[in-house]
Structure 1
Amino acid sequence: MPTMEFMSDMLGGADSGKPSLFEIVAQHKMSDLLEPALRHVTSVYAHRYPRYLVRALNWHEELYAAVMLMVERHYLRNYGGSFTEHFYGMKRVRTGKLGGGDSMTRGDVWRSLAFLVGLPLVKSRLDQLYERESGGEAARLLGGAFARHSDLQADSVAEDTTNARWRRLQTFKLAIGRLFRQYYPHANFVYHMATMVYYVAYMFDRTGYNSPWLHILGLHVRRMSAADYRAMDARGPATSSLAAAPNGSALRATRNLVARVLFGGLDFLKVLLPLSIFFYRFLEWWYRSDFHKRIQQTPVPPPPLPLRPHVDGVALPEDQSLCAICEKPRTNPAMVPSGYVFCYPCIHRHILDSGRCPITLARARLEDIRKLYSD
């Protein structure tokens, strides 16, 4: 088999409508990166406007889930796939055709939302709970003083006999926490291992499902065909269930306007996302380029004008190679802040006695003397 045909089979197999594993992983990675990217933007602006955005940052997962619930429902209902799946030109179809068609039903949409939005939210909260209960990375690596003091709390509860009902409740909570810390890492391993197993089986055409959640839902992910795009163009812009037939009333007109703006904005996300990625890459290139460095670079200030010789100071010799103090060729030359050069022993002794430059009479200290070296 030629190399290109072999690569084609590895990417998509003989079925041209089947997405390659690389497309599947790419859309999953994009979906996983949306939440951290929005969290970073929110945290940056929360530091600037803490009065308005600190609460939004504290409830970021819930707010993000609410927004994604609306976005994903819009794309599942109107385009037959999640936001990232539609971005990569894919859709979801039923494995068991209903009435001769493979389009998702309303129940499929809501069950898909449960796995697209609900499951990541629950997983994120469980991860945070495990970090809090286990004491974090330091406790897992070092243990000891870094571990959560649940055992100490259990001892204190056992010793407290003031309220038997409260003691039983606290003991039950501590036991649940201990079981959670013990078994959650295993559940987390099974969660990620199941995803990897389905990736490998999907790559070798052992299954048509690229994730266990799609297997549970009974949905396949397929590439959108030219007929799908023609059908979308013929259908026109996505319509909202909020919109209603106009009857001349201002309330109905306002309702339809809000629906058009809302769903037009959701459709614009598929254009806004690549524009945002391009803009981010452009900013990354710009701040690393020489153009930005040259623009930001401040010009080097000109050197200060040399101090003029004082009328009461030592006269400058006509020969610039002579020391103004001993009037002999300079040996071991040294300079003072006024800019004049002398023999090091001469200027050291002079400043030690007078504390001034011998030519300009400007104040000078011994630590201001700088030796000069020449090749």
Structure 2
Amino acid sequence: MAERGAHITTASPTDNRPSIFEVVAQESLMVAVRPALHHIVKVLAESNPARYGPLWRWFDELYTLLDLLLQQHYLSWASASFSENFYGLKRVAIGNNREHHTLQRKEYWKSLMLLVLVPYLRLKLEKLVKRLREEEDYSIQNPTLFRKRCYKAILASYPFVKLSWEGCFLFYQLRYILWNTRHHSPLLSLAGVQLARLTLEDLQAMDTRPEKPDSTQSVLSVGSILKKALGGVSMTLSSSLSLGVFFLQFLEWWYSADNQDTLKSLSSLPAPSPPIHFDLEIYSPLLPKLKTVCPLCRKVRVNDTALGTSGYVFCYRCAYYYVKNHQRCPVSGYPTELQHLIRLYSPDS
């Protein structure tokens, strides 16, 4: 049984088809890149909200743009995505002559759109479902409204959609392990390509050919300059991420369960003093003189709620709607989300 398992998960030496471990490893690489960059932007935004706050608010769109430049560079130069090229793989069109080392225009654009657009739409859908669930829990609306019924339909159908999506990928991977197909993912099947290992001829071709040969390239100087600039940005991003892959391993260890004792020892240090770098002329009018008054509604606080990012205390209703609409603390400007709201209980309650 063990010999059979080793046989079906290991590629033949004479076959150019990658093993299941290689294709799964290259997929997990890009999954780890986004949370690492997201954490870096969050730290920057908390350290300087005025300067880096827009990076936090538009992180999804900026990351998608960077991902587009990165994947475009590698698809045109190596006929593979960034993670696929990192593990020595390439994309080959189904039924294509192996003498061609580049993807054709049709497969190129399909691969680019599926690599960049599908993860972005999936992320937006998950955030939409999360927001609808929060509105379902905290907002009060007439259940007979058409909008409310649509929200309930989306929330009810999303688990089944997600199950079908994950089940489809699992089905393709099982077929790939059992040698019944050359696609480990339905996205590759939609793009009309399959994965193969890089050969010596491929490496030589990548070193000798230009970044993206195109017979229809415009002869206008402005277009050529723009293309060179985008190519330089793509090369810089790819080189930086290639070096940053090793740093991602450190971040994974830092937030792993084995390192929780170290994090607890650091968090047990004395609490820092309140922020003093704010301009008092700007922020002092927002802070009431009485400590029992909410800085937003200027009334005695009801259901005292503190923001975990800044420590200021508000009414729960005031803090909830402000953070939901602005994603920041109303006093300090620190990036804040709804999970940072902390309910405070007095000794009399």
Q: 1:147 matched to which residue of 2?
A: 137
CA distance in 2, matches of 1:252, 1:186: 46
Q: 1:273 and 2:261 equivalent?
A: no
Q: Could you say if the C-alpha distance between residues 252 and 215 of structure 1 is closer, same or farther in structure 2, counting changes exceeding 3 Å?
A: closer
Partner of 1:56: 55
Distance in 2 between residues matched to 1:15 and 1:116, nearest whole Å = 29
Give 2:24's aligned residue. Answer: 25
Map 1:1-375 to 2 at 5 A: 7=6, 9-13=8-12, 16-97=15-96, 101=100, 103-135=102-134, 147-149=137-139, 152-155=140-143, 171-235=145-209, 238=211, 258=229, 261-269=232-240, 271-274=242-245, 276-277=247-248
Per-residue Cα deviation, 1:102-130 (whole angstroms, up to 9, x for no partner): 74222222221221111111111111111
Work out which structure has the larger RCO, using CA pairs closer than 8 Å and 6 or more positions apart in sequence. Answer: 2
- Give the structure 1 partner of residue 305 of structure 2: none
Counterparts in 2 of 1:94 and 1:147: CA distance versus 1, 3 Å: same
How far apart are the structure 2 equivalents of 1:99 and 1:11? 23
Are the structure 2 counterparts of residues 55 and 186 from structure 1 closer, same or farther at C-alpha, using a change threshold of 3 Å?
A: same
Residues 230 and 58 of structure 1: is their aligned pair in 2 closer, same or farther, counting only changes over 3 Å?
A: same
- Which residue of structure 2 aligns with residue 302 of structure 1? none
Aligned partner of 1:348 in structure 2 is: none
Counterpart in the other structure of 2:280: none
User: How big is each residue's C-alpha offset from its partner over 1:61-80, in whole Å with a ceiling of 9 and x where there is no partner?
Assistant: 11101110111011111110
Report the CA distance shift for 1:93/1:275 in structure 2 as closer, same or farther (over 3 A): same
Give the superposition deviation at 1:276. Answer: 3.4
User: Could you tell me whether the CA contact under 8 Å between 1:69 and 1:113 is conserved in 2?
Assistant: yes
The secondary structure found in structure 2 opposite 1:135 is: helix
How far 1:222 moved relative to its partner?
0.8
TM-score, with structure 2 as normaliser:
0.63
Encode CA deviations 1:199-249: one digit per residue, 9 max, x unaligned: 1110111111110111122210111111111211233x63698x99899xx
The count of corresponding residues between Structure 1 and Structure 2 is 254
Asked whether the 8 Å contact 1:81–1:92 carries over to 2, the reply is: yes
1:38 Cα deviation (Å)? 0.4
CA-atom RMSD in angstroms: 3.6
Q: Equivalent residue for 2:326?
A: none
Structure 2 portions without partners, runs of 5+: 260-349
Give 1:24 deviation, angstroms.
Answer: 0.8
Displacement of 1:86 in angstroms is 0.5
Inter-partner Cα distance in structure 2 for 1:101 and 1:214:
19
Offset at 1:262?
A: 2.7
CA distance in structure 2 between the aligned counterparts of 1:256 and 1:176, rounded to whole angstroms:
44
Look up the match of 1:291.
none
